[in-house]
Structure 1
Amino acid sequence: MRQGPGRDEDGRRLLTIGAFARAARLSPKALRLYDELELLRPAEVDPDTGYRRYAPGQLAQARLVAWLRRLGMPLARIREVTALPRAEAAAEIRAYWAGVEAETAARRDLAAFLVDQLSRPSPTAAPDAPGNGEPRMTSRTLSLRFASATDAGLIRPVNQDAAYASARVLAVADGFGAGGAEASSAAVESLRQLDGADVPPGGVLNLLEDVSLRADEAVREAAEGDASVGTTLTALLWTGAELGLVHIGDSRALLLREGELLRITQDHTPVQALLDEGRLTAQEAASHPQRALLTRALTGAGAVGAGTPGDRSPDLRLHEARPGDRCLLCSDGLYSVVPAEELRAALAAADTPGDAAAELVRLARAAGGPDNISCAVADVPTP
């Protein structure tokens, strides 16, 4: 019961806004903002002067708000977190930080991509070429040898995966939600136009960005705005000398080079974030209850997390291609049940991409086929 004006329910004297700000390590201006946003209401407001006073017991919440702001958490989300019980608030903060780290990793990859591109010599016109000396890109005429395969597996009643392979493009998408099959098909179909696309001078990054935007729009239309419907998308574009990558979700791109199987994508999942932090082993990750949860995907609402706290759009980058490389794109219905060494051995032993794709599907089915299975395989040609 209140003990009179200027005291809290335990009879302790209320703190002026200045004293409370110093104790909470917040500014009076911040406290006024948090009051307006209903993040931290004063215990008492003088009806005549509007002067705010705070109870000592509010210091814990004030400090929590300050710490969350230092994390960069948006105020709207802080309001939700501070209203939760302690255990749920901790889980929400953990989820938020996993998203921040995923966004940071994506920006790091983009920075590395740009540094690599800008560090390379600019392509120049041949000495006898007409024109004003503007850059001109030359490309090889060799094409990839390719194949793709998709299978519903032995458990799922519907195949929500989609796979595509051509002389220029490889793509795999793993749909989810009630319209997952339509979403994955729309994402893959949006890439077919790349088969005849020209790559302008220095324009590979722009082309990859156009591809990701086109896929995002196609999925939104297919999902009809339903945020619970979406798809992963992992695709490679053969430019004639390099492989351009578009990747979002947990489908994977791998490269068999000189007998070694290299993974060139990172899963956009909370489990991958825990692996990167060293908080999980590979064995623990394989059986983690949240291993299928995505932090990034294309959905009916656009790219997951778009605009908060950053635009979590697909990873875009270039990879050097060497003659004799064999590329594999696959959904988790393959790599989650077929060990990496078996994948490597099957890719190395197959005479053609078609043989490899067929054998990989067979291996996944032999392992129980609990999920849809999709793969696309291509060989980088030898000049």
Structure 2
Amino acid sequence: MDLLTIGAFAKASGLSPKALRLYDELGLLRPARVDPYTGYRYYAVTQLDRARLVAWLRRLGMPLARIRAVSALDGADAAREVRAYWAGVEAETAVRRDLAAFLVTELTEAPREGTTMLELRCAAHSDQGHVRPANQDTVYAGRRLLAVADGFGPAGAPASGAAVEALRFLDGEDGPRPGNVLNLLADAVRGANAAVRDVTEGAEDAGTTLTALLWTGSRLALAHIGDSRAYLLRGSGLFRISHDHSVVQSLLDEGRLTPAEAESHPQRSLLLKVLGADSDPDLRLHEALPGDRYLLCSDGLTGVVPDDRIRELLAAAPDPETAVRSLVDAANTAGGPDNVSCVVGDVMPPVG
């Protein structure tokens, strides 16, 4: 067996001697022979392919524990794992990019004199559906606050109600200032989380999702946790502005599932983040334009009505009240297997 010194092997593999010693200690890349007297490490030429793979994966930023698993697989399975890892990196980077863009805007934009303040006109509707024995959703549509919460478990209805009730103070007369709206919303969600814990204490597997928009007069701040959703209809396009915190969505992000496979996946309803479990919400700020229409909804709608149909119904409705009624009716027409709740808000120029 041809052996290389640790220095020669490091040069050939692209790994430093220090890294090779670490990977030996971790069991990731053991030397072929260790001198019993000097402790000097020797590596076989046949180990170069594995060592180079480890070096490449480290350059990708893959954690060592995952590298150990990937390097033990054959070519096709290893490639699948690398693809899944990188898809996850890209999804996380997209979220961080949005946060960075928000921070840059907040830190560099001076308050603008004479900014046109728009108005928000909204409506909400919630329905039990045709299958569930009770409605565990809670909706709210006020002057400044829109919210949907989808409770689950034996205390689901109290959980969703407590979450929305904890946010209602945000709908006050003065409203939040644009500069502090995300901090204010984050604090409110922390209060909602505590309220949900209080009402679900002793109830196993109970909690709620929460998707909320807070209006400043020119912007909408989004707080989101769970798999209820927020959409924006702008012009003829429908854009989802929330990201599901679910097992199936994580598998989609990693490239392990196709959208078609996700529709019938047995873990569709399994959530990764909910209120009542001390999970941090997603927080984003959206510039509003006259004519924008926002939709918040529980998965009782999105589970049975495809996005294309949602877009059609939103675009056709002349006002928010008609929109929420038509969306709920569409879910019930499709079988109504779950509670279904919708809140629609239109961004309008001020009257007069």
* TM-score > 0.5, shorter chain as reference: yes
Q: Which amino acid aligns with 2:11?
A: R
Q: Is the Cα–Cα contact under 8 Å of residues 219 and 298 in structure 1 kept in the other structure?
A: no
1:47 counterpart (28, 33, 36): 36
Q: Deviations over 1:183-215 (max 9, x none)?
A: 655554443332237424622233344345555
1:202 aligns with 2:179: yes
Look up the match of 2:93: 104
Deviation at 1:72, TM superposition (A): 0.9
Look up the match of 2:304: 337
Structure in which a larger fraction of residues adopt helix: 2
CA distance in 2, matches of 1:217, 1:88: 43
Aligned to 1:263, what secondary structure does the other structure show?
A: strand
Q: Is the Cα–Cα contact under 8 Å of residues 227 and 271 in structure 2 kept in the other structure?
A: no
Q: Deviations over 1:102-154 (max 9, x none)?
A: 11101221233234445543257x9xxxxxxxxxxx996x8744332333444
CA distance in 1, matches of 2:128, 2:60: 43
Would you say how many aligned residue pairs link Structure 1 and Structure 2?
A: 344
Q: Is the Cα–Cα contact under 8 Å of residues 252 and 329 in structure 1 kept in the other structure?
A: yes
Look up the match of 2:342: 375
TM-score under structure 1 length normalisation? 0.70
CA distance in 1, matches of 2:127, 2:293: 21
1:121 aligns with 2:98: no
Deviates more, 1:211-220 or 1:372-381: 211-220
Deviation at 1:68, TM superposition (A): 1.8
Aligned to 1:97, what secondary structure does the other structure show?
A: helix
What is the correspondence of 1:1-383 to structure 2 with a 5 Å cutoff? 12-83=1-72, 89-118=78-107, 120-123=109-112, 144-155=120-131, 161-174=137-150, 187-196=163-172, 198-200=175-177, 202-211=179-188, 213-214=190-191, 232-248=209-225, 250-257=227-234, 260-265=236-241, 267-268=243-244, 269-270=249-250, 273=253, 284=260, 287=263, 289=265, 292=268, 297-298=273-274, 302-303=278-279, 314-322=282-290, 325-340=292-307, 342-348=309-315, 350=317, 352-381=319-348, 382-383=350-351
Q: Which amino acid aligns with 1:365?
A: N
Deviates more, 1:248-257 or 1:47-56: 248-257
Deviation at 1:75, TM superposition (A): 2.1
Q: Unmatched 5+ residue regions in structure 1?
A: 1-11, 127-137, 307-312
Aligned to 2:147, what secondary structure does the other structure show?
A: strand
Q: Unmatched 5+ residue regions in structure 2?
A: none
CA distance in 1, matches of 2:47, 2:195: 49
Aligned to 2:214, what secondary structure does the other structure show?
A: strand
TM-score under structure 2 length normalisation? 0.76
Aligned to 1:39, what secondary structure does the other structure show?
A: coil
CA distance in 2, matches of 1:97, 1:186: 38
Deviation at 1:164, TM superposition (A): 2.8
Deviation at 1:42, TM superposition (A): 2.2
CA distance in 2, matches of 1:296, 1:145: 33
